[in-house]
Structure 1
Amino acid sequence: MRVNWNYIKLAFLSVSVVALYGFADARSKKRTVSDISIKFLGDNNLYLTEDAVNKLLIQNYGPVKNRPKEQLVLNTIEEVILSDDMVKNAQVYLTVNGELISKIVQRKPIGRVEGISKFYLDDLGKRMPLSKHHSARVPIITGEITGKTLEDAYVILNYINEDDFLRKNVIGIHIESEGKYQLRFRMENFVVNLGGVDNLNEKFKNFMAFYAKATKDNSLENYAIVSLEFSNQVVCTKI
């Protein structure tokens, strides 16, 4: 009987590959986490520290460094990090060297509410707690704080942040009542009665035309109130 050595070689090779894979897999499972790396993405990294993230993991998941890799549940670690009120998004993964990498995007405040309770309004229009690590330089929101007025304030802030001049100069939004919003400017004594959030493009276009003319005439300091509430016009009250 003739022996087919090709089949024998193939069988031997297959057994060797399975054995090597099993050996490598067993060694991999025995490996521990060699280090933890916390990376904050983007330019908004002021409200949460690396130490705070490590503390959060220890309190809610237990020690991670030197822990066997097979004991880690990456989805659970992500959920722990996402539970922090300052975190917008998080991604966790292990490198081949056993390093645990956590990439974190922090939330971005665009306004600060000063009322009975104090908090930020973030770039998604959600409430965000104040941070003990940093105080954001954003417009202050005061007055009649309700769910609806905060929604409107969010619309106004989004518009302001799209305009270079307004973003640099508007320092506050005062809510007199629903549909009556007042803006305060950094360098000017007057306030701007915006009215509601309808036709913001037209209102601010009219305001910028007024501001350019009043700046040229050196008359800005003569006004106490600049009203944009009326259709296609700017109504001013002098001091």
Structure 2
Amino acid sequence: MRIPWNTLKITGLIICITGLYAFSDRRAERREITGIQVEFVGEDQLYLTEGMVNKLLIQNYGSLRNVPQDAVVLNTMESVLRTCDMVKNAEVFLAVDGTLHAKIIQRHPIGRVAGTTSFYLDDQGLKMPLSPNHSARVPIITGKITGKSLEDVYEILKYINADSFLSKNVIGIHIEDEADYRLKFRMEDFLVRLGDSTDLDRKFKNFKAFYLKATQDQTLAQYREVNLAFSNQVVCTKI
């Protein structure tokens, strides 16, 4: 009887490989988390600290050091981190050395509502709590705060933030009503009446044309109010 050595060799090799994989998997299951590393990604890194992230994890999972790696569900941990009011997005993964890495993107405020309750408005138009660690230098929103007026203010703030001139000079938005938004500029006692939140491109182009002409003529200090609410004209009020 002829012994099929090649077949036996292949079968033995398969058994060995399978055994090695099973052994490797069992070792991986017994591996423990050796530490936690928090990394803040992007420009906004001021409102949330590493200690605050660690505290949130401890509140939900206890001390993670020496916890078996297979006991941690990374997707669930990401969801927990996203429940933090300062977190825009979170990614959690395990490194080969057993370190648990948490990459955090913090939310970005673009305006601050000053009223009975103060809060930020973020770059997605959502309410964001104030941070005990840092106060953002953003336009202050005052006046009649409603759901509709905040939606309009969000559109106005998006336009302002996309424009280098406006983002440097607009320091406040006052809501007189939902059809009368007023912009406060860095220049003392200088007010721009925007009207409603529609046709922003035309209104701000008209304002820039006025501003450039008044600056060239050195007459800007003579004006206390510029009204952009009208369709085809800029109405200015002198001091």
Residue equivalent to 1:52: 52
Output the amino acid matched with 1:116: T
- 1:96-111 matches, within 5 Å, as 96-111=96-111
Tell me how far apart the structure 1 counterparts of residues 238 and 147 of structure 2 sit (CA, whole Å).
34
Q: Deviation of residue 78 (structure 1)?
A: 0.7
Aligned-pair CA distance for 1:189: 2.3
1:121 aligns with 2:115: no
5+ unaligned residues in a row in structure 1: which ranges?
A: none
Which residue in the other structure is 2:219 paired with? 219
Shift of 1:177: 0.5
Q: In the alignment, which residue of structure 1 is the partner of 2:193?
A: 193
> RMSD of the TM alignment (CA)?
0.9
Q: Deviations over 1:15-67 (max 9, x none)?
A: 11111111111111111011211111111111101111001000112211211
CA contact (8 A) 1:121 1:128 kept: yes
Alignment correspondent of 2:152: 152
- Alignment-derived partner of residue 18 in structure 1: 18
Separation in 2 of the partners of 1:101 and 1:65? Answer: 13
Q: State whether structure 2 residue 80 is matched by structure 1 residue 80.
A: yes
Query: Residues of 2 paired with 1:70 and 1:52: CA distance?
Result: 25
1:178-224 Cα distance to aligned partner (Å, 9 max, x none): 11000000124210000011111111111111111111122111112
8 Å contact kept, 1:188–1:220: no
Q: Which amino acid aligns with 1:62?
A: G
Q: Which residue of 1 aligns with 2:202?
A: 202
Q: Distance in 2 between matches of 1:61 and 1:123?
A: 31
Q: Unaligned regions of 5+ residues in structure 2, if any?
A: none
- When normalised by structure 1's length, the TM-score is 0.98
Q: 3-state DSSP class of the match of 1:93? A: strand
Superposed, 1:123-138 pairs within 5 Å as 123-138=123-138
Helix, strand or coil: the match of 1:183?
strand
Distance in structure 2 (CA, Å) of the matches to 1:208 and 1:189: 18
Q: Once structures 1 and 2 are overlaid, which stretch shifts more, 153-162 or 61-70?
A: 61-70
Distance 2:65 2:43 in 1: 28
Q: TM-score, normalised by structure 2?
A: 0.98
Which residue identity does 2:98 align to in structure 1?
G
Q: Any idea what the Cα deviations from partners look like across 1:98-148, whole Å, max 9, x if unmatched?
A: 111111111000000001110000000000000001000000000000000
**Cα distance in 2, alignment partners of residues 14 and 230 from structure 1:** 81
State whether residues 188 and 221 of structure 1, in contact with CA within 8 Å, keep that contact through their aligned partners in structure 2: no
SS, match of residue 137 in structure 2: coil
1:53-96 CA distances to partner (integer Å, 9 max, x unpaired)? Answer: 00100011221121111111111111111110000011111122
Q: Identity, % of aligned pairs? A: 59
